[in-house]
Amino acid sequence: MIYRLLLGSILTTSLLAGLTVSAYADDTPILDTELKTECELFNVINGSLAASLDKKILSSDESLGGTPASVEVSCNGTIDIQISAPTQESGPGLSADATLSSSAQFRDLTVTPSQPATDVPPDSEGNVEGKITINMSVNNGNQPLQPGNYNFTVTLTVVPK
């Protein structure tokens, strides 16, 4: 019994000696840390565009036969989501009055390029997880689209806070 008590005293003394910090009036030790939100984006799936019957619209809308793009997100805190307007990378030119639009859907939020970054709070467990769905469309105005292979990009930005 005394042996155990003595061993405990030696261990306590050793631990206290290891934690000794000398401090001066202007040199107070500070222990701090910053836990940052970390995110992982994975399972990126490109979408496809389908043409309307009159060939004036290209869209990822499933009702026209298109497929939205998507990406899975997993973050351990609040994030901002932002999406760019579509940019044509290749294909025949569009009419002067053509309009390009895009949107991102996550949970019950819809984000468009005209919005500032949209704040997405974590769930009750402190996480932001799920699929972000990206849609886009091209409306070529009153002119049918020319035959060809069209390629557009949309930039989705997910920023941990």
Does 14 fall in a domain?
no
Does 83 fall in a domain?
yes
18-22, 71-75, 143-147: segment of lowest average pLDDT: 18-22
Does 109 fall in a domain?
yes
Does 45 fall in a domain?
yes
Give the pLDDT mean for 127-145: 96
Does 107 fall in a domain?
yes
- For the segment 9-23, what is each residue's pLDDT rounded down to a tens digit? 333 333 334 444 444
Task: Count CA atoms closer than 13 A to 90's CA, side-chain side.
Answer: 3
Rounded percentage of the chain residues whose pLDDT exceeds 90: 74
Domain harbouring 100, CATH code? 2.60.40
Does 81 fall in a domain?
yes
Domain span at 98: 39-160
pTM above the 0.85 mark?
Answer: no
Does 25 fall in a domain?
no
Does 9 fall in a domain?
no
Q: Count structural domains, the chain.
A: 1
